[in-house]
Amino acid sequence: MLVTLRPTTCFLILALASCERASARTAGAPARLVAGSADTIVVNSLHPTMLPVQVLDDAGRTLPPQQLSFTRVAGDSLALSPSGRVTCRRRGDAEVRVALGALSKRFALRCRPIKGFRFLYGDGRPLVVGGTPRELQFIAVGLDGTPERMLAATLSIADSTVAELRGLTVYPRSAGRTMVELDLAECVWAMGITVHERVASPAALRSENDLFLVSPLRLVDGERRGWRLPRGEYRVGLLTQAGADTQLRLGTTAMNCAPWITGGQDYDCIALAGASVDVRNPRRAGAGGELYGELFAQRLDLSEASSAPTPARRPRKRMCPMVR
């Protein structure tokens, strides 16, 4: 998937300054053509798109736009104009030749038009300050309704003090909320990121940002552990070992619960007087085994902790459609 990480503002300023110094020098004659990334251009748009080809001089400096000529030389028949504007009405692959005088370059054109993105809530694993990072989850949907994994886009995060973005991985830094944007040029797909502050007990939950987390949770065969909860509304979840034949089981007392959107052992619960949650290992006691998991609880009836003002954002692009 051709997704690149957008540079930070600091690096962007340095790049602009470097461009200004380069422009002060005399540019050379066209010496090389560069098409996309690794001689591959991916187009996800349904609308006419100009193919991104750069013209460089022998020193590697980018020259002003040139009169390039494009020709499909092999592969699927695509709507490609001689000036390099392509319309991807369907999925297809072609080999294209671009020329400028005596210079020429062949590259792969991948038409991967998408009609939108499928909504994903996530795997139910909360992000915690100083905790395990998490891969971004998103599904682009092609025209035939199947997932499209080849995207030409940039990724950016609104507030890097809350979480840091490295490639497709989110690293939690401080409690709060922010957004990750996947920018496909003509539209943006936004994904919310919440980072929680870990607390030592359910009674210590003071805001929606706080999270009571027992991780790792290890129970020997036949063992049961429980925790009392003050009255209130909670999200309570138990994450268990993937692929294990037998898994830890979550139980509640004096709580009215409904399944959370993620499914599994994850619930939205109203805790009454005397409420508690417990986790047990269902195997026979004394068998000598052990099961692992993670238990978390979050108050949903408390306000969010105050945080720093959200940084000013650039004007928003059109949001990419959400599709089934």
> Which H, E and C letters describe 200-213, residue by residue?
CCHHHCCCCCEEEE
CA 308 to chain centre: 23
Token pair for 224: 């049961």
pLDDT at 25: 61
Q: Is the pLDDT of residue 312 over 90?
A: no
Beta strand pairing status for 210-220 and 249-259? Answer: unpaired
pLDDT band at 23 (very low <50, low <70, confident <90, very high): very low
Q: Are 221 and 288 in contact (CB under 8 A)?
A: yes
- pLDDT of 10 > 70? The answer is no
Q: What is the pLDDT of residue 288?
A: 87
Nearest-5° Cα angle at 16, 58 to 318? 110
Closest CA to 129 of 174, 96, 62, 91: 174
Q: What are 222-262's pLDDT values in tens digits?
A: 999 999 999 999 999 999 988 888 999 999 999 999 999 88
Is 140:125 a contact under the CB 8 Å cutoff? no
Q: How many CA atoms lie within 13 A of 239 on its CB side?
A: 14
pLDDT category at 38 given cuts 50, 70, 90 is very high
Please report, for the chain, how many H helices and E strands are present, in that order: 1, 26
CA distance 44 to 154: 13
- Whole-angstrom distance, CA of residue 162 vs CA of residue 199: 18
List the domains of the chain with CATH numbers.
Answer: 3-112 (2.60.40.2120), 116-197 (2.60.40.1080), 200-299 (2.60.120)
Give the strand order in the sheet containing 134-135: 134-135, 169-172, 163-166
DSSP string of 219-255?
EETT-EEEEE--SEEEEEEEEE-TT-SS--EEEEEEE
